[in-house]
Every structure is written in structure tokens, then in C-alpha cells.
Amino acid sequence: MFKKLAINIFIFFLLSILILISLEFLLRLYSKIKDIKFTNDNRYSNVIRVYEEGKLFEPFQNFYLYEKNIKEKRFLNFFIDEKENKLIKIWDYNFSTNNYGLVQSKNLDKKKESILFLGDSFTKGTGSEPWLDDFEFKYKKFQIINAGLGATGFIQFFNLDNYLSKELNIKKRVIIFISQDIRRNIILLNNSMCIINHLNCDYKNNPQSIPNDRDFDVEKYLSNKLLNRNKNKEINLRLFIKNLFLYQYLRTSINTLRLKNNDVIKINLESIKRFKKKYKDEIVFIRIRDAGEIMFKKDSYETKVIKKFFKENKIKEYFCDMNNDLSMFHKYDLHPNKKGYELIQNCVLKILKDNF
């Protein structure tokens, strides 16, 4: 009897595995036919950011800024192609910070009437020269404040707004966000020893740093350090699962169950209400469609939650769809490229002209 039960259980699991393998194969075939360009968050394990060495961040209690008055800091990004065993450069540009530690080349006059742009890396301009530096020549009603900070959400936007409101003469506010921002808690970025001095870096560090030397061979240096790092990698079941097409197609359904009562999402949504209550018609919310939604041609779980929340609370949500075009984004990293930021700039400009 027990032998027969064991055989039945074995057959059940064998059939289940065969069904899952078949589904994975069919989804890969379907994606190829429909030209759905598959990628996932695992790519970030092979994306390496690189700064010129030196202190970069200034952490506060519940938000972070950059060091003040950084001039022309070089910022690069590479993808490690494990199949070809080579580095692929994603971007290489410079950015500066102002007298408030914001990613902006122009210093701010604390008495001048200003419009504050809050948001994540899409607001900051990660992936190209900060687009809000150019925006001030097209929108001259107020002094432009670029308070975009990477990896942040509405909780942190609210904390930063409280700080900057005491420092500057802010009359209008714009929050530019992607749907994933509602899942982000407070993050504080610190200056690792590697960021401060490139001699302290090893293959495990991300970000890396390089000397302040334009003749320094960055790609040779990083190739020697990083291309053999996979010898030290352990098999990661979580990364394996995220590589499956089956997981990606079921991701929205999985998140619907997994994140139904997520506390971080609740606090982020509450922060949106607090913004609206505090600033009424002097604030606008602009959602940007990210590359993931364009790839899969459907709304993510987070977008569905946001749409419902804005509708139920009668808050106007503006939208930039990025022309539903993946060529507006960098490969591998999926931040907007220069053309993508020009698209965001034009979309935001139109919205502001209609509101402020």
C-alpha cells in the first residue's frame, strides 16, 4: 500500500514538472512570436555602477542627499555579459550637485519663488545628464528644484519635502513617479569605503569607484576585477525562479496575493493623501510608464493599485506613456536614455502649462 502511494506521489510530481516545463517552453515561444522582449530584475545582479572616487552621499534621519557642490562627477554603468564574458557600457556621463546637495548644476536662491520636483531616479535623471537642468530654459515661471533621488518612494518624498520647505520658497510641487515607488520604504545611502577610495574595492562592491583621472582605463580595470567574479558565485534559487517566463507572466497575480496587505504600500498611499491634503491644487502627480509594463503590454499590480487609489480618493493623476516604446530606455538597466528624458520633459512641460 505504501509502495503504491509512493509511486503515485512520484508520478504526480513528475507530471507536474513536465507540465511546468511545457508551459515555460510555450511562454518563451509565445513571447518570441509576439515580440515581447523579456527581461527581469535579475539583470541588476549584473549591472555595475561606477563613480569617480570621493564622498558622494549625505544621509539624514529619514532621507538622503548628495554631498554639496560636487562638480562634474563622472558616472558610468556597465552590464556584465556572462555568456560572452565581457563588459557592455550602458552609459558614461557627468553630473553636478548644488548648494543643497541636489543633483542640479545650478545653485538655488532660497528667497526665489520655486517649483519643487520630487520623485525617484526618473526625476533625478539617472541614465543621462539631468533633464531638469535643461528644463529651466523651457519653464521660466519659477526657479526649478530637482529633488529626485534614486530608489525612493512617496514616504521619502514627503520627508524630503518637509525639509526643503523650511529651506526654500516653494510655491508649486510636482511628483513624478513610476508605479513601483509605492513598494519603496525609506532608504539611506552611505559612503562605502569603496566609493571613497577605489583601492578599497573588490569584486563584491556595487557601486565601484575609479580614480579622478580621465586617462585611467576604466574598462580594463573593471574587466580584470569583475569578469571572473562568477567563479565565486553560489547557485541562487531565487534568481533562477525570477528568470522563468512562467514567473514573469504570473507576477501580477502573485503580487496581488503576496502584497494585498503590504504595510509599506499602505504608508506610501497614505503619503499621497497627505500631499494632496496639504497642497490641494498646488501639486500635480505624474506617473511614468516603465519599461516592464511596455514589455509585457499590460499594467503591473502596482499600477492597478495606484489607479484605483487615485480614483477612489478623487485625486487627478497625469500620465506619460513613453510612447510605449522600449527604445526610449537603456538596455539592461532600463532607465530612460536621452531620448526618453526628452519625451518626459515634453510631457511634463505640457502638463505644467495646463496647470500652473
Question: Tell me, what CATH number does 248's domain have?
Answer: 3.40.50.1110
What are 355's three cell numbers? 496647470
Q: Is residue 33 part of a domain?
A: no
The answer as to whether 23 is a domain residue is no
Question: Is 129 part of any domain?
Answer: yes
- Give the whole-angstrom CA distance, residue 125 versus residue 220: 27
Q: Domain span at residue 258?
A: 41-355
If 0-12 CB within 10 Å is exposed, 13-18 middle and 19+ buried, where does residue 136 land? middle
Amino acid at 203: Y
**pLDDT for residue 39:** 57
- Residue 110: inside a domain: yes
Q: What are phi and psi of 263, to 5 degrees?
A: -70, -35
Q: What pLDDT is stored for residue 269 in this prediction?
A: 98
pTM exceeds 0.85: yes
Give the model's pLDDT for residue 46.
Answer: 87
Q: Is residue 1 part of a domain?
A: no
Between strands 57-59 and 64-66, the pairing is: antiparallel
Residue ranges for the chain with pLDDT beneath 70: 1-2, 34-44, 228-239, 242, 252
Q: What total of structural domains would you count in the chain?
A: 1
* CA separation for the pair 232, 230 (Å, rounded): 5
Establish if 26 belongs to a structural domain: no
3-state secondary structure of 319: strand
Q: Tell whether 349 is covered by a domain.
A: yes
Query: Does 31 fall in a domain?
Result: no
**351-356, long-range: CB < 8 A, 24+ apart:** 351/284, 351/286, 351/318, 352/115, 352/139, 352/174, 352/284, 355/284, 356/115, 356/141, 356/142, 356/172, 356/284
